[in-house]
Structure 1
Amino acid sequence: MSIADMVQKMIDDLNETMADAVKSDKGNNAAMTRVRKAMQAAKGAAQDVRMHISSIRNG
């Protein structure tokens, strides 16, 4: 998978989370949990991108 594909997937996943973010702003606790899980997944995906870039740079 290319770096661009990895980043685009992160963007797509975060865009899907926007509806839950709006619900979270209104106090919906279940939506808050879903947003928190999405943020944790984004953190992991970002780490995967960083590792992929490092592996390319280091040969």
Structure 2
Amino acid sequence: MEKFQKVKELVAAIEADAEKFYNAGNNAAGTRVRKGMQDLKVLAQEIRTEVTEKKNAK
């Protein structure tokens, strides 16, 4: 559940940069959004692996 909380925090952190990129055209914010989304992808995969392991352990 700890990793899921990190996902929520990461999405919240990316939100400000997404706003700057899409509405203000700030390209540096776009780069930060892309990095944040990559981090989110890695974290999501970790959660998937953890859930699968826990499910199969039963």
Report if TM-score (shorter chain) is over 0.5.
yes
CA distance in 1, matches of 2:52, 2:14: 28
Question: Please, what TM-score do these two structures have when normalized by structure 1?
Answer: 0.87
Residue number in structure 2 paired with 1:47: 45
Question: Number of residues paired by the alignment?
Answer: 56
Q: CA RMSD in A?
A: 0.8
Which stretches of structure 1, 4 residues or longer, exceed 6 Å deviation after superposition?
A: none
In structure 2, the residue matched to 1:5 is: 2
Same amino acid, percent of matched pairs:
41
Structure 1 stretches lacking a partner, 5+ long: none
Gaps of 5+ in 2: none
Measured after TM superposition, the shift of residue 20 of structure 1 is: 0.5
Scaled by the length of structure 2, what TM-score is found? 0.89
